[in-house]
Amino acid sequence: DGGITQSPKYLFRKEGQNVTLSCEQNLNHDAMYWYRQDPGQGLRLIYYSQIVNDFQKGDIAEGYSVSREKKESFPLTVTSAQKNPTAFYLCASGYTGVETEAFFGQGTRLTVV
């Protein structure tokens, strides 16, 4: 089945630790996105990538890093520099060149303990 897979579904992290969230898609999409969702805040864009080995900062990139070494994969690292990392993280993908819809994974809920 084609789709976007985020793992893990739930993640716990100790303060001061880096953690990496996985996002894989087999839809042959060029564009991939990472969003953070907090109650009452909607979806805020962290990073996005339109092509392999290239990515752009979104609105709240501080404390996060990404890589795009493969078309199918766009992992997000939440670093210890992120002051308030507890949130619901969503990955999405879509085609580029023609504005079109994006599809989401089921999300990873990160909790700092």
The residue ranges that bind another protein (CB under 8 A) are 4, 6, 31, 33, 35, 40-43, 45, 48, 50, 56, 58, 88, 90, 92, 94, 96, 99-107, 109
Three-state SS annotation for the chain: CCCEEEECCEEEECCCCCEEEEEEECCCCCEEEEEEEECCCEEEEEEEEEECCEEEECCCCCCEEECCCECCECCEEECCCCCCCCEEEEEEEECCCCCCCEEECCCEEEEEC
In the complex with another protein, which residue's Cβ is closer, 58 or 63?
58
Q: Closer to another protein at the Cβ: 71 or 109?
A: 109
CB of 23 to another protein, least distance (A): 11
Nearer to another protein, 30 or 73 (CB): 30
